[in-house]
Structure 1
Amino acid sequence: MGLPRKLKMMDLFNDGNSYLGQTGEVTIPKLVRKFEDWRGGGMNGNVKIDLGLGDDATEFNWKLGGIDSLILEQWGAATVAANMLRFAGSYQRDDTGETTAVEIVVRGRHEEIDFGNQKAGDDTETSVKTIWSYYKLSIDGVEKILIDIPNMIERVNGVDLLEKHKANIGH
C-alpha cells in the first residue's frame, strides 16, 4: 500500500513575476474532450466520437490575496497568448518522502477579474479567470501534455495527436 502525492508547496508566476505568499488558490485547468454520440446504421448502441477539446477546457482560475496592479495592466490584451502563467507545485508522498515537481504553463488572457467583497479588517482577495490558448503540463521536468490551439499541436507523451490531420490538409 502507498500513500498519494499531496501538494505541499506551490507558487504562481505571472509573466515571470512570483506570487509566492500571495497566491491563495489555483484551480488547475481540467483536461476536457468534446464527445458526441454517434449511432450509425447497423450499430447496436452509441459510441462517443471525439471532436477535440471541450468547449470549457481553456479556463485557468486563480486567486490572490488583496489586489494586484499587474493583472489590471494586462486587462484587454489584444492576443490570445498575451500573458503567461506558470504554476509550480511540489507534491510529496508521506510514506516514502518522495517529492514530485509539477509545472503547468498557460498562455492566454484574462476574461474576468473579480475583486470580491471589500471590507476593512476582513480577508480580501482577487479572483481571476484566464482563458488559455497554450497549455503545457510537465511532471519532474518531463512534458506530459502540450496543447497549442493556434498552432494546431496536441502532444501527449511526445506524440502529436494532430500531426496526421495537419499533413492531410497540407500543413
Structure 2
Amino acid sequence: MGLPRKLKLMNVFADGNSYKGQITELEQPKLALKLEEYRAGGMIGSVKVNLGLETLETTLKMGGYMTEFLRQFGTTIDGTPLRFLGAYEQDDTGEVTSIEIVMRGRFGEIDAGSSKVGDDTEHSFTVPLTYYKVIENGSDVVEIDMINSVFIVDGNDRLAEHRSAVGL
C-alpha cells in the first residue's frame, strides 16, 4: 500500500520576487488536448482527433492587498514569469518530492474581492499562460511553449518533426 504525496510547504515567485507568506493557493493549469470528433467512410464510429492543446491558465490566490501584482497588469503576452515550488511528502515513507512549475504569461484578470475591517482580504489573479514546465526532483516532466511550438512529455519532443517540416 502506498499513500499519496501531499503538499506540505510551497512558495511562489513572480518576476523573481518571493511571495512566501502571501500565497494562499495556486490552481495549476489544466492540461487538455483540443480534440475534434471525426468519422469518415469505412469507419463504424467516430474518433477524436488531436488538433493541438487547449489554452493553459493558472490562478493564484494571495492574502492581503497585492499592489505588486496590480502593477503587472497589462504587460506583454509572456511578460510575467511565475515559479511555483512545492514540497510534497508521502506519509508512509516520509519521502519528500520537490515539484517546480515554471510559467510565463500575463495577468488576464484581477479580482480584489471584498474589503471589510476585521475580515481576511484575498486577491485572486488569473494568468493565461504561454509557457509551462513541470520539474520533479530536478527532472523535466512536461514542457509546453505555446508560441514556439514546443510540446515535450517525459523527454519525448512530440512536435520536433512538425517544427522541422515548417522550417522552425
What TM-score does the superposition give when structure 2 sets the normalisation length? Answer: 0.97
Structure 2 letter corresponding to 1:144: V
1:10, distance to aligned residue in structure 2 (A): 0.5
1:42 match:
42
1:102 match:
99
**Identity rate of aligned residues, in percent?**
49
2:84 match:
87
Query: Among residues 71, 74, 79, which one is paired with 1:76 in the alignment?
Result: 74
1:149, distance to aligned residue in structure 2 (A): 1.1
2:132 match:
135
Distance 1:169 1:128 in 2: 36
Structure 2 letter corresponding to 1:63: K
Runs of 4+ in 1 over 4 A off after TM superposition: none
Distance 1:144 1:91 in 2: 16
Larger mean CA deviation between 90-99 and 65-74 belongs to 65-74
Distance 2:122 2:56 in 1: 23
Structure 1 letter corresponding to 2:4: P
Distance 1:126 1:30 in 2: 21
Distance 2:29 2:125 in 1: 13
Distance 2:52 2:99 in 1: 24
1:58 match:
56
1:170, distance to aligned residue in structure 2 (A): 2.1
Structure 2 letter corresponding to 1:105: V
Distance 1:81 1:94 in 2: 38
Structure 2 letter corresponding to 1:120: V
SS at 2:106's partner residue? Answer: strand
Q: Deviations over 1:135-169 (max 9, x none)?
A: 10111110111111111111111221111111112
Structure 2 letter corresponding to 1:126: H
Specify every segment of 5 or more residues in structure 1 that has no aligned partner in the other structure, as ranges: none
Q: Deviations over 1:40-82 (max 9, x none)?
A: 101011111011111xx311101101111211111110x2110
